[in-house]
Structure 1
Amino acid sequence: MSDSSPFPFIYLASQSPRRAQLLDQLGVPHRLLLATPDEDAEALETVQPGESPRDYVQRVTALKLDAAVARHARRSLAGGPILCADTTVALDLDILGKPQDADDARRMLARLAGRTHSVFTAIALQNGSQRHAALSVSDVRFAPLSPAAIDAYIAGGEPFGKAGAYGVQGAAAAFIEHMSGSYSGIMGLPMFETAQLLDRAGIARGYACKTS
């Protein structure tokens, strides 16, 4: 790991507070580089016909990073590496994105109940002309869930804005019988892979202070 990074922080192009918290845990100062409503960031998450979950999450992450790099240039911001990530949940080969409403969340959770699904999180880092990328794949098994348990979880509001209609770090932890892989990857930013990317890019870490 290099301790001579020329940048005092990196840009995080994500609205997820969990990703910001995990970067803090890695000791990486960061500033948010968020899309404005006119950018229609959600359009980047459209699934292409026949696309596998693995290909989908890596393609979307690359597109988000392209958009963030362009956003950085338009705003004439100070130089710095830019980090993007995207997480998707897949049951077999079906991609379960963010639920559109309560009925959609109910449908997803009912499908996940009593079964094992996969969580794919792709990360990509732009540092000058260099781009580094990595993928984390984890498996999660849910216990059987009653309709009442699903309804109670949805009523708490936690499923919305989350792939697969749940957050591993919240109340849904009580649904999980078993998991394998990266807990932080399931949260949205795999810390081991992220640390490896930062090291490869020569970006110093280990000093926990947040600049945003």
Structure 2
Amino acid sequence: MEDFEKKVSIKDSMEIEQENSNCSKSNEILNLLRKFLEIQQRRAQAYSKLKTGFSEYMKSGGELAYQQLCSEITVEFNDCSKQVLEMESLFLNPNYCRVDLAELLRAIQTQEKQKLHLTATIQVLKKAGRPSERLVNHENCSFKKPMEHECVHLQEITEAAGTEEAEANAEYDNALKEAIRGVQDAVTAINEHLEEVRYEIAALETE
């Protein structure tokens, strides 16, 4: 009888230990996912800064300040990515064994990469401007008298040149539209995945 009681009490304590271990793992996963949402918040703030900085650059043309901002934002994004990759490898670790969460984080990372790449493309295109609206550079023109110069840009506007410009404009417009649409698609995908992360957090909180 005593042996039986001993076995039962050993079994009980093992079950309690197992429950404690599961509880501790759940808390760790919960903390990691909350931290991940904080990182996403940092990314959102970085995008907001980049957007504001770019608008200011387009108005004032402060190249140096804009370049400085781009460098800061790059460092911020790299740091966020590095932390997410660390979380991803933790979820793949046998201690957690949550391949589903690792894949979810990986999917968000992929979309974030795409979003950043296309955001940069949009800014490059906007900086260049539509081909027909670009400022003419007079560096190669010859100046015979002050205030007068022979402009190398003066050419007869032929039908062919007009068509060429229209084609260049259409190409530019399409590239810009495509990049904007790509960013919107990436944002939609990211938000859907983040919803899954929030569901997971809610499920762990109710355990």
Q: TM-score, normalised by structure 1?
A: 0.24
**RCO comparison, higher one (Cα < 8 Å, 6+):** 1
Structure number, greater radius of gyration: 2
More helix by share: 2
Give the structure with the larger strand fraction. 1
TM-score scaled by length of structure 2: 0.24
